[in-house]
Structure 1
């Protein structure tokens, strides 16, 4: 098992696209596991801090994409006129790790 917490962006500080933009927007962060898994693990992601503008609709989608044995892409999306100042995301990966007692018998 591996887990972490990632500040995705803080766009209100510099008038970034998530805070000032319109339409489809996306932020992606590559997450590298502390140790490689035997096969791609199951990955759960969630928003742990959500700071949005109160005068607009709040639209959000967060997902784990391109999951491999060594990591995944943590992806946040918004659209329309949503104003997202900051997002922090938490993740949890569960899978089988390599073990010295695991033998490759052919």
Structure 2
């Protein structure tokens, strides 16, 4: 498994709405075309209306790289900076879990 968390801080409320629409389009592409993407969950943050957090789990690193090559992902990556004031990516090593596939 390969997993990551991304936090986006958005510029303002109007741009947050546009970002959310961009995300919805992107997630639709992920659902339709990415069998190796096991979890792609986007979240708002309580009491932080301009923050978004994505939790992503891929079958393996190759599935993540395939995700990065997809047209819908490339479109998201090319457009997101119009809305984002800052972002932070954390790559994760899964440990104890419920609901995620186990190896072996």
Which TM-score band (shorter chain)? 0.3 to 0.5
Which has the larger Rg? 1
Q: When the two structures are superposed, what TM-score results if normalisation uses the length of structure 2?
A: 0.35
More helix per residue: 1 or 2?
Answer: 2
Give the TM-score, by structure 1 length.
0.35
**Greater strand share, 1 or 2?**
1
